[in-house]
Structure 1
Amino acid sequence: MSTSFRYTEPLPPKAATGRTAAVYTQLSRDFGIDEPPTFVVLSSAPELLAATWALTRESLIAGPGGRTGKELAALGVSLANKCPFCVDAHTVLLHATGDHAMAERIAKGHRPENVEHARVLDWGKRTRVPGAAFGDGSPPFSREDAPGYLGTVLAFHFINRVVSALLTEKMLPGNLQRFRTVRSLAGRTLARTVRRTAVPGESLPLLDRPDPGEAPAWAGGTPVGVAYAALLRAAMAGASLLTREDQDVVEEVLQDWGGEHPSLALPGVPGRDERPGARLVLLAALAPYRITDEDVAAWRRPEHTDRCLVHLVSYGAFLAVDRIESAFHHDIART
C-alpha cells in the first residue's frame, strides 16, 4: 500500500494515546483535517508534534491577523522553500477562506490582483533570506498582527523542511490536487472550520512549558511566543544525535547561509561517508528536497529509531528557522 511517509512508519493515529491523541483531537477540531501527514510524521516524538501543532495553531489559526493574509504568507514561504506539498495545501486552504479566484491565480503562477495580497505573498517569499523580510521598511501587516504573521512564517519554514525531508510530494492520492475542481471542493469542505474563530492558548496545556523569559519579544506576550519557545527547545534536542565536531561543522555552514538554495555541488555539506549525520542536518536546513535514500541509509544504524530520524531532521529544520528568526529582531527595530 502506498504511503506519504518516506523513511518512517508512524503508528496509526487511531492507536494514539496521551498527548499525541490530544493533539490529533485538536487538529481535527481546529485544523479541520483528520490525520494530516504533515503532523502524523512527527508523532514518534510527541514533544515535537505538540510544539509544532501549538505554533501553527496559535499563529495561523488563533493568532492575530486575518486568515487569508496568513495563508498567503505561508504560501509565500512554501514557494520560496520549493515545497510542492505545502504549496498545494495552502492553495486549498485559500479556497477554504472563500478567495477562490486568488487561489487559482496563484496556482497558475500569477500574482494576486489585490496589491496588499501581493505584498503579503512577496513578503512570505522574502523571509527565507535572513534579514530580508522587511527590506522595504514596512511590513504588510500592523504591529498588532505581527505575532500572528511572524509565528506563521516561522512555523512553515519548519514544517516545509520536515515535509520535504520525510514525506512524498503528493498531497492527495494520485496528485488529484492538480485539478482545479478538486482544489475547490477540498477547500469548501474545510471552509466552516477555517472561518470559525479559535480561542488563543488552548494548545499550550499540551506543551512542555518553557520558562517565560524564553518567549521571543516579537510575540508580544501572546501564546505564539510560548509555542515558539517550546518548539525551539524540542527541536534543538536533536543536537545530541551529533558529535561535537559534527555540530561545529553544521554551525559553521549555517553562519554563512544567506537563504540561497545550494547548487548541485552542495558546497560546505560533507559527504555521506564522511559525516552522514551532519550531512542530513545541513540538507534538512538548506535543501531537504535533496535528501536521498542513500543519505538516510548512510546515517541510520540499528539504534537509530524513527524518533531519532525525526529529531535529527527537526534539528536541521529548526536551525534554519533560528537563523531566520534571529534577523527579525533587527528588522523589526528598523521599522
Structure 2
Amino acid sequence: MARALLRTALRRSLDQVKYVTPVEVSGADDAVARVYQQVERDFGMLAPPVALHSPAPGALAACWMMLRESQMADGKVQRGVKEAVATAVSAGNSCPYCVMVHSATLQSLLGSAASTAVSAGRLDAIADPEVRAIAEWARRSASRQESQSQDAPFAKEQTPEIAGVAVAFQYLNRMVNIFLDGSPLPPTVPALARGSVLRVLGWFTAASARATLQPGASLDLLPAAPLPPDLWWAAGHPEVAEAFARASAAIDAAGREHVPASVQAAVRSRLADWDGRPLGPSRSWVEDEVLALPAGERAAGRLALLTALASFQVDQQVIDAFRREQAGDEALIASTSWASMAAARQVGSWLRIS
C-alpha cells in the first residue's frame, strides 16, 4: 500500500508547488528539458524543489547544478554524511519539507537513530563521532559568530563538498519555504499511512543515493564563469567550483534583469550586518526598511528582504503585491532565487576552514 501511495504522490508532486506553475515535462523547451532529464535520471524523480524553478531556466539549471555536484556526485565524502549536513542545515532553517525528505534518506543510509537525532536537533545522541561533529558544524554554520569561532571537523580536501552542501541548502531551504508546504506528501495521503510512505520515500531516495554519479555531468547546462571570491571554499574541487561559479553567474544575471538595483543594494546592506538569525516573528522590520525604496520597487524589496532573512514570512499577500509590480512567474522565481543565493553566499563567506 505504501509503495502505491508513494507512486501516486510522486506523479502528483508538481501540484504541490505554490504561487508559480512549473513547466510540464511534455511542454518543456530544450533548456528546461535537459535539466528535467538529468534530475529524473540521477535523482529518480522530478523533485519539486528543483522543478519549481522551471519558469526561470537559468535558475533551474543553477539549482540543480549546485545540488548535484556538491551532494549527489561521487567524491571524498560519504553520501550519508552529506545527508546529515543537508538535514542539519534544514532543521536550523526550520524547513520541514527538506528535513522530512533528507532525514528519510538519512535513515535508510545511516539508521533511524542518527536520522532522528539530526532532524530533532539532538546531535549529541549521534553515535558516530564523525557524523556527530560534522552535523554539529553544519547546524552552527548559519550563525556568523558560531561559524567564525569553530574549526571545521573534516579534512581540507572534503571542504568543497561539505561546505557546498551547506550553502546549497541555505539556498534551497529558502526557496522551498516559499513555494512548497511543510511536507513532501500531499494531503491526500492518509494520516495513518504517512509514516510508512515516508519510510518508502527514504528507501527510494537512498537507492538513488547509492548509485554512482560521475562528477561534472551537469556543468554543460550553464556557461563557464569565474569563481567569485566569496565562494573561495569551493576551490580545490574542479566540479564543485565550476558548479557554484556557473550557478552564481546565472542567478546574478537573472537578478540584474528582474531585481531593481536599489533592492539589491538594500538586501546586501542588510546581509552585511546580519548575524545569521531569522528576523521576526512580525514583519515590522521589513516595512520600515522598504520605506527607503522608490514607491514602485517596495514590493520587490519586501519580497527580496523576506526571502533572504525570513523566508517563512513570505505569504500570498507579499506575492500578490510583488506581482502588481512585476507580472509573470519568471520574475518571481528570478527575484526569490537571487535573494536566496545572496543569503546563502553570505553564510558561506563566514565559514572558517583550517
TM-score normalised by L of structure 2? 0.85
Cα deviation for residue 217 of structure 1 reads: 3.5
Question: Superposed, which structure 2 residues align to 1:168-187 within 5 Å?
Answer: 168-174=181-187, 179-187=194-202
- Structure 1 position 74 matched with structure 2 position 90: no
Query: Which residue matches 1:42?
Result: 53
Query: Which residue matches 1:254?
Result: 271
CA distance in 2, matches of 1:181, 1:140: 35
Unaligned runs of at least 5 residues, structure 2: 1-11
8 A contact 1:98–1:191 mirrored in 2: no
Equivalent residue in structure 1 for 2:350, among 324, 327, 330: 327
Q: Once structures 1 and 2 are overlaid, which stretch shifts more, 128-137 or 66-75?
A: 128-137
SS at match of 2:146: coil
AA of the residue aligned to 1:38? P
Query: Which residue matches 1:120?
Result: 134
Query: Which residue matches 1:58?
Result: 69
CA distance in 1, matches of 2:262, 2:85: 37
- Structure 1 position 146 matched with structure 2 position 159: yes
Query: Which residue matches 2:286?
Result: 269
- Structure 1 position 206 matched with structure 2 position 221: yes
After superposition, the C-alpha distances for 1:285-308 in whole angstroms (9 at most, x for unaligned) are: 011111011111112137521000
Query: Between Structure 1 and Structure 2, how many residues are aligned?
Result: 329
Change over 3 Å in CA distance of 1:134–1:248 after alignment to 2: closer
Change over 3 Å in CA distance of 1:81–1:189 after alignment to 2: same
Cα deviation for residue 212 of structure 1 reads: 6.3
8 A contact 1:104–1:180 mirrored in 2: no
Cα deviation for residue 123 of structure 1 reads: 1.2
CA distance in 1, matches of 2:138, 2:190: 26
Change over 3 Å in CA distance of 1:261–1:29 after alignment to 2: same
CA distance in 1, matches of 2:268, 2:43: 35
Q: Among all aligned residue pairs of Structure 1 and Structure 2, give the percentage whose two residues are the same amino acid.
A: 30
SS at match of 2:223: coil
Cα deviation for residue 226 of structure 1 reads: 0.9
After superposition, the C-alpha distances for 1:262-317 in whole angstroms (9 at most, x for unaligned) are: 12244642367861111100110011111011111112137521000000101110
Q: Once structures 1 and 2 are overlaid, which stretch shifts more, 37-46 or 257-266?
A: 257-266
After superposition, the C-alpha distances for 1:12-33 in whole angstroms (9 at most, x for unaligned) are: 123223121121121122222x
CA distance in 2, matches of 1:303, 1:318: 20
SS at match of 1:269: helix
Across the aligned residues of Structure 1 and Structure 2, the Cα RMSD in angstroms comes to 2.5
After superposition, the C-alpha distances for 1:206-257 in whole angstroms (9 at most, x for unaligned) are: 1122136779442214210111112211222324434333333222221111
CA distance in 2, matches of 1:80, 1:176: 28
8 A contact 2:108–2:206 mirrored in 1: yes
The structure carrying a bigger helix percent of its residues is 2
CA distance in 1, matches of 2:54, 2:79: 26
Query: Which residue matches 2:249?
Result: 233
Query: Which residue matches 1:28?
Result: 40
8 A contact 1:51–1:234 mirrored in 2: yes
Query: Which residue matches 1:224?
Result: 240
Cα deviation for residue 106 of structure 1 reads: 3.9
Unaligned runs of at least 5 residues, structure 1: none
After superposition, the C-alpha distances for 1:189-222 in whole angstroms (9 at most, x for unaligned) are: 2333211221111111111221367794422142
AA of the residue aligned to 2:159? A
Cα deviation for residue 159 of structure 1 reads: 0.6
